Amino acid sequence: MNHRASIFSAFYVFLCLGFIAGFTFNLVFYFHTNWAELLQGNLDITQGRADWRAFQNRLLGPYLILFINYAVPWLTLEQSMLTIIAGCLAIHNALLFILLRIAGVKIDVSLVAILIWSFFFAGLQHEWLFTWDVFDILFLTFAAFVLVLQKDPKYLLYIYPLALLNRESALFLPVAYMMASVLCVFNVEGSWKKSISLFPIKRIGVGLFALFFGIVYTKLVRDYLFVELETGNDFEHQLIGNHFYLFENLKQLMLSNFFDKNIIHTIPIWLCVAFHLKILFLSKSTGAKSGALFFFLLFVNTLIFGLVNETRLWFPVISLTLFVYLINSSAAYLSQEKLQQQ
């Protein structure tokens, strides 16, 4: 490719990524009519009066709003929040494109994947959208890349402290770190004895320590910074800080959602479950299998502690599923090519 073609290609990609991010942000902006309420939900955290104890450790977004408002005084607090959301969308598109290109996915296919992601992100909007939701997408998209592409898991620990400032879902990063470390052993050719000898005991120890540290940090921050709800002290959630929704979620996903508007997102959820089950049992790609396993960790976590009809909780799963699909398809294609050559 000559110099002029490279410049044109870079401009084409930049234009497409910018247009997709801008159009997606506009759809999200006009969908939500409660931006003032969403802003207050962020600011309550900086005052120790989060809507729930589980929100109190989600510091990154709320304090970044205050910082942007301080650094750029002509922006209102609401505009500062919108700047974060728009910025995260733009960064996500660029990040996802770069990661897909590293994975060997063609430019046009990568752009189509980002378009698909944006379609689901805009189409699955919920009444609530907080700053920690969009940061969460960035961190878990990178974790999905490391797992599915089987890259060096140490990079997950580099972003772990920042992810902990954002949300307790950062605890999945040391889990992904340990998964990636163990799965590397299965790619080593040789006897099972050789595999056992290479078992990453030190990395498992590091991952467990990081996980323990994250749990303690989250608990301490919630207890230390949380003052009270507007309706009084939050004694109900002092143990873990979260709600417990397992049985309610199972009832909705397996029955009631099929008889109301929630069927729109319930069917894609079950299709994702079926797809990742297929990957676990039939795929020949270790990376795709590890991605599918990570999906079920996120799925079970949402079933227990989240509300399945709060569709914003499913946003990180979109990137993960795209990675698994593309890598599994690539592995199947290469395997078929080898068979034909033989």
Of 138, 152, 148, 195, nearest in space to 315 by CA: 138
More confident residue, 109 or 237: 109
Strand partners, 232: 229
Q: Tell me: the pLDDT tens digits for 308-325? A: 999 999 999 999 999 899
186: pLDDT confidence band, cut at 50, 70 and 90? Answer: low
- pLDDT number for residue 256: 94
Query: Is residue 338 over pLDDT 80?
Result: no
Q: Which of 46-50, 166-170, 233-237, 327-331 has the lowest mean pLDDT?
A: 233-237
164: pLDDT confidence band, cut at 50, 70 and 90? Answer: very high
Residue 235's contacts (CB-CB under 8 Å, 6 or more residues apart) are none
Burial, 248: exposed, middle or buried (Cβ in 10 Å; 0-12, 13-18, 19+)? Answer: middle
Cα–Cα distance, 319 to 288 (Å, whole number):
13
Query: Is residue 215 over pLDDT 50?
Result: yes
Q: Tell me: the pLDDT tens digits for 271-302? A: 999 999 999 998 888 888 889 999 999 999 99
Cα–Cα distance, 44 to 300 (Å, whole number):
29
Domain carrying residue 122: 3-341
> How many domains is the chain built from?
1
Place of tokens 């050789």: 194
Of 274, 285, 276, 266, nearest in space to 322 by CA: 276
Q: Tell me: the pLDDT tens digits for 66-88? A: 999 999 999 999 999 999 999 99
Strand partners, 229: 232
User: How much of the chain exceeds pLDDT 70, in percent?
Assistant: 86
Q: Tell me: the pLDDT tens digits for 106-157? A: 899 999 999 999 999 998 898 889 999 999 999 999 999 998 888 888 999 9
Place of tokens 């990079």: 155
Query: Is residue 35 over pLDDT 70?
Result: yes
More confident residue, 96 or 328: 96
Query: Is residue 187 over pLDDT 90?
Result: no
**What's the mean per-residue pLDDT of the chain?**
86
- pLDDT number for residue 341: 44
Query: Is residue 332 over pLDDT 80?
Result: no
- pLDDT number for residue 182: 83
Q: What share of the chain is helix, strand, coil (3-state, %, to 5)?
A: 80, 0, 20
335: pLDDT confidence band, cut at 50, 70 and 90? Answer: very low
